[in-house]
Amino acid sequence: MTKLLQIKNSSPKNILVYPLYKIKGKEKEYYKHKKFVDKNVQVVEKLNCVDNVIILEKEVNSWSEMIVDVLYSIKKLLEHNNILFSEADTIFTKEFSEIFLIEKFMMFSKCEEDSNIDPSFTKDFYLNGGLVYYPSNMDENLWNFIDDVDRYDSIKMTGNLYEVIMNRIYYSQFSSLKEGMEYLKTFGIKKYNWCIRSNVNLEQLKHIHFLNMSHYTSDESKFSGFWYETFFDRIYNLIMNDHPINDMVIDLQNYCDLKI
């Protein structure tokens, strides 16, 4: 079932999408993610800069089935709409309506490591898929890249392939990887989808990605599942009460540095 939360009106134009899938055998993870999605929706309501929030809430048998459903759901929603897709382990910290003015398919930050699937995406160019923007005028041919997204069944490999496909779509809009990276830097790299293992510009920061389901943290034995819950809750409370979050972001980064 796809849930639709109407924030401004009944004719959506700029749409924010969150995934909330119940994967077979992963019911506990579903309820954790639900808590984060629910709070994210409250933050977005407060920021008041989208027309609608859509939550993709379905039961699936595997991680790859979820990824396929996400992509084809977005493809369907894209008709006459701008779509911003944000993973559940994230939080917006400031107003973000500027994203909907972008005319290209957009990613927002680097993974800070090489792709283990496509060697052309080195750490200098490989982008993280935690936040992805699909403009309403997106070239239909770009969807051809998603044909083999269900090649793998494991969480790690399916997630990595999904990310590679997003990178291929993004960079196909430019004559070179360098040109694509320059476009992103001009907009403001890491302003959105700041991944907790990279440097941060506190003045620009508008969106945090905690990397809960990523191998960045899941392969690190010192990071437990949903390790970021306390940080998320504190940042959420600060935002909802109109308090600055800079000190908490610094604490978050220090915590990660100590764990790695």
**Other residues' Cβ atoms within 10 Å of the Cβ of residue 148:** 9
Percentage above 70 pLDDT, the chain = 85
Q: Which domains, and CATH codes, for the chain?
A: 2-190 (3.90.550.10)
Band of residue 7 on the pLDDT scale cut at 50, 70, 90: very low
Residue 6's SS3 state is strand
Band of residue 57 on the pLDDT scale cut at 50, 70, 90: very high
The answer to whether 142 and 74 have CB atoms below 8 angstroms apart is no
Q: How many residues does the chain have?
A: 260
Instruction: Give backbone dihedrals phi and psi of 107, rounded to 5 degrees, phi first.
Output: -120, 170
Residue 259, pLDDT score = 63
For the chain, the farthest-separated pair of C-alpha atoms sits apart, in whole angstroms, at: 47
List, for residues 128-138, the tens digit of each pLDDT value.
999 999 999 99
List, for residues 174-226, the tens digit of each pLDDT value.
999 999 999 999 999 999 999 887 889 999 999 999 986 544 444 545 566 78
Decide if pLDDT at 255 tops 60: yes
Q: Closest by alpha carbon to 189, among 108, 253, 80, 78?
A: 108
Q: Closest by alpha carbon to 205, among 129, 78, 108?
A: 108
Least confident span in 16-20, 93-97, 200-204, 239-243: 200-204
Measured at the CA of 150, the angle between CA 146 and CA 151, to 5 degrees, comes to: 105
Residues 6+ apart with CB under 8 A from 55: 2, 3, 4, 5, 17, 18, 19, 20, 37, 41
Q: What's the rounded mean pLDDT across residues 75-81? A: 91
Q: Answer whether 0.85 is exceeded by the pTM.
A: yes
Band of residue 148 on the pLDDT scale cut at 50, 70, 90: low
Residue 145, pLDDT score = 84
